[in-house]
Amino acid sequence: MKIDLARIGVDDAENLWKMQVEAFSDLYKKYQDTETSPATEKLEKMIIRLEQPCTYYYYIVAEGIKVGAIRVVDVKEAGKPKRISPIFIMKQFRGKGYAQEAIRAVEMIHGGCDWELDTILQEKGNCYLYEKMGYYQTGKTEAINEKLTLVQYKKE
């Protein structure tokens, strides 16, 4: 399986935003995390992020189809880890290894070490994915509500 990453510009903010809302809608329904869910994010926030010089959004493209997206925050300052926030695969394309390939691809572009990300502790599949990719839990967690806890991962 081969994926490509296609850089996303501000001109495609609305399409990216719609994909993100759809991709995270099931998790939002499950956890009702209005404050942190990408499903509840406003288009304006997406545009602001796309305009940040340290933000790199990429479509994850498989066989010419946009199957998801990944955002990398790469400040490029000494001591500042790179961050994945968020990554998503559209529901109909999940379970095919696209997220793994996208992580490998951004690590090739931005460097293979000094990364961090947060994920939902209760989503064991997400935790398994990141651990398989060489990330480890730091022990830092944040309870968002009674159903959802975010857990921080690092890769050095």
pLDDT tops 80 at residue 79 = no
Calculate mean pLDDT across residues 8-30: 98
Given a contact cutoff of 8 angstroms between Cβ atoms, the answer to whether 153 and 136 are in contact is yes
pLDDT computed for residue 76 by the predictor:
80
pLDDT tens, residue by residue, 84-109: 999 999 999 999 999 999 999 999 99
Structural domains in the chain? 4-112 (3.40.630.30)
Radius of gyration of the chain (CA): 15
Given a contact cutoff of 8 angstroms between Cβ atoms, the answer to whether 143 and 112 are in contact is no
Residue 16: strand, helix, or coil: helix
Q: For residue 108, which amino acid is it?
A: M
Query: Strand 115-120 vs strand 149-155: parallel, antiparallel, or unpaired?
Result: antiparallel
pLDDT tops 80 at residue 49 = yes
Given a contact cutoff of 8 angstroms between Cβ atoms, the answer to whether 87 and 39 are in contact is no
